[in-house]
Structure 1
Amino acid sequence: MLPAKVKIVEVGPRDGLQNEKEFVATEVKIELVNRLASAGLQNVESASFVSPKWVPQMADGAAVMAGIERRPGTIYSALTPNLRGFEAALDAKVDEIVIFGAASEAFSQKNINCSIAESIARFEPVAKAAKEAGLRLRGSISCALGCPYQGDVPIEAVVDVVQRMKALGCDEIDIADTIGVGTAGRTRDVMAAVSKVFPRERLSGHFHDTYGQAVANIYASLQEGIEIFHASVAGLGGCPYAKGATGNVATEDVIFLLNGLGIKTGVDLDQLVEIGDFISRAIGKPSASRVGRALLAKKRDGAASCV
């Protein structure tokens, strides 16, 4: 039986924009966050408190958090890799701290130059500080369905990192297909395995659409009872360390799927399509959302007959 309701974690303002070479104006980021929250997204990943040397696009995280209009009931998240980032996020009144690790040793070494065990140890003070401050803590696990450097990632490795994240006190744990190589069958197997060691209702799926499988993998996750998913408006973003990872699954496409299944999300698809058009125009790139493009064309040109 599929879930009756699903929470969407909108990652566009952070994961979606972090790799843009041209700096996106702070005012645009603020408007993006505000519009997404107004459209009904319950959780918006809004900023990243990392060194601007490594991610210059996110250098204005504090200004973004100071400028947004806080909607009651909306969770505003930020990525925090260390205590310095945590302290900045705390000052910015972030609701949820996001830490990250990988299920692949090769990816961990290439990405953050340390082992999986070392990466988790680094997050222990951040996790402790977040809990002491009464903030939500979310852990994200990269390369849970495949790695660009080592190839297949054993399910046992994913389970191991979930258990490590659980020990840190994570309220939610993201199972991320960083390079989009996951298939529906493998996704079900991974979700079934991690559900045995962490509450199913607090697991989420974060799927990239490199191979066009993200929507199928979301459906496979729904069949396993997963009820939290990440998505990026207009399909923005990807992983700078994963060659060929062209983007996150588009929020518009996910909402269209869930609407068709009768699953409640609280998200207004019409507003979402307009937001996708807004941010795509702002950064000068076409929307990667098939649903967004189709609905915009229908709205602007009227329905055309097809043969």
Structure 2
Amino acid sequence: MSDLPKRITIDEEGPREGFQSEKKVIPVADKVRLIEALAETGLKHIACVSYVNPKRVPTMADAEEVAAAIHRKPGIHYSALYLNQQGLERALRGPLDVQGSVRITASETFSRKNIGKSVADSLVEQRMSLQTFKDRGMPVEWGVVLGAFGCN
């Protein structure tokens, strides 16, 4: 058992993933209350909102309002999901932490259902995001393949 890590890091995706999966809109105050309660547990990373098209994901139409209402604790990385250049620009205007990242889709169906674009068009968006990171001197720290094991 000596080969087990001495420490692990948990990135909490529950608020972002959970709020956007709900059928009805959760009030901003309730979203903020959950995020702030999670911050009290000692987590170091909390994904709070998604900057996505509100027509596709109505439960995230209040992303800016939620992000602005969070009373942030020092030492916690509060993040947001963005899938395209427009979402990235919204994230950069907001108060949450933005890391350079690239998200590509492995599934045409996933891309059309979740992003509203083909995989090819989504790749063009990612190139635009990479240019934005470069222009701002932001390193690209990680990448994600969405829908790698299926499509929701």
Match status 1:103 vs 2:125: no
In the alignment, the residues of structure 2 paired with residue 55 and residue 109 of structure 1 have an alpha-carbon distance, to the nearest angstrom, of 13
Give, as a single letter, the amino acid of the residue that structure 2 aligns with 1:143: G
Give, as a single letter, the amino acid of the residue that structure 1 aligns with 2:41: A
Q: Give the aligned partner of residue 79 of structure 2.
A: 77
Q: Give the aligned partner of residue 28 of structure 2.
A: 26
In the alignment, the residues of structure 2 paired with residue 133 and residue 70 of structure 1 have an alpha-carbon distance, to the nearest angstrom, of 25
Match status 1:12 vs 2:14: yes
In the alignment, the residues of structure 2 paired with residue 28 and residue 45 of structure 1 have an alpha-carbon distance, to the nearest angstrom, of 15
- Percent of residue pairs identical: 37
Cα distance change of structure 1 residues 105 and 58 upon mapping to structure 2, 3 Å threshold: closer
Q: Give the aligned partner of residue 173 of structure 1.
A: none
Give, as a single letter, the amino acid of the residue that structure 2 aligns with 1:35: A
Structure 2, unaligned runs of 5 or more: none
In the alignment, the residues of structure 2 paired with residue 85 and residue 30 of structure 1 have an alpha-carbon distance, to the nearest angstrom, of 20
TM (normalized to structure 2)?
0.81
- Structure 1 contact 80–89 (Cα < 8 Å) conserved: yes
SS in 1 for 2:10: strand
Q: Kindly report which structure 2 residues correspond to 1:179-190, keeping only aligned pairs within 5 A, or say none.
A: none
Give, as a single letter, the amino acid of the residue that structure 2 aligns with 1:140: V
In the alignment, the residues of structure 2 paired with residue 89 and residue 77 of structure 1 have an alpha-carbon distance, to the nearest angstrom, of 9
SS in 2 for 1:17: helix
Match status 1:94 vs 2:96: yes
Higher strand share: 2
Match status 1:2 vs 2:4: yes
Give, as a single letter, the amino acid of the residue that structure 2 aligns with 1:12: G
In the alignment, the residues of structure 2 paired with residue 19 and residue 99 of structure 1 have an alpha-carbon distance, to the nearest angstrom, of 22
Q: Give the aligned partner of residue 118 of structure 2.
A: 114
Q: Kindly report which structure 2 residues correspond to 1:146-185, keeping only aligned pairs within 5 A, or say none.
A: 146-148=149-151
Give, as a single letter, the amino acid of the residue that structure 2 aligns with 1:128: Q
Superposition deviation, residue 56 in structure 1: 0.7
Q: Give the aligned partner of residue 289 of structure 1.
A: none
Query: 1:215-256, CA deviations, whole angstroms, 9 ceiling, x for partnerless residues?
Result: xxxxxxxxxxxxxxxxxxxxxxxxxxx1xxxxxxxxxxxxxx
Give, as a single letter, the amino acid of the residue that structure 2 aligns with 1:40: G
In the alignment, the residues of structure 2 paired with residue 106 and residue 60 of structure 1 have an alpha-carbon distance, to the nearest angstrom, of 26
- Structure 1 contact 95–135 (Cα < 8 Å) conserved: no
Query: 1:12-68, CA deviations, whole angstroms, 9 ceiling, x for partnerless residues?
Result: 111111021111000011111111111111111011111111111011111111111
In the alignment, the residues of structure 2 paired with residue 83 and residue 143 of structure 1 have an alpha-carbon distance, to the nearest angstrom, of 19
- Whichever of the two has the greater Rg, that structure is 1
- Structure 1 contact 49–88 (Cα < 8 Å) conserved: yes
TM (normalized to structure 1)?
0.43
In the alignment, the residues of structure 2 paired with residue 120 and residue 134 of structure 1 have an alpha-carbon distance, to the nearest angstrom, of 19
- The number of residues matched between the two structures is 147
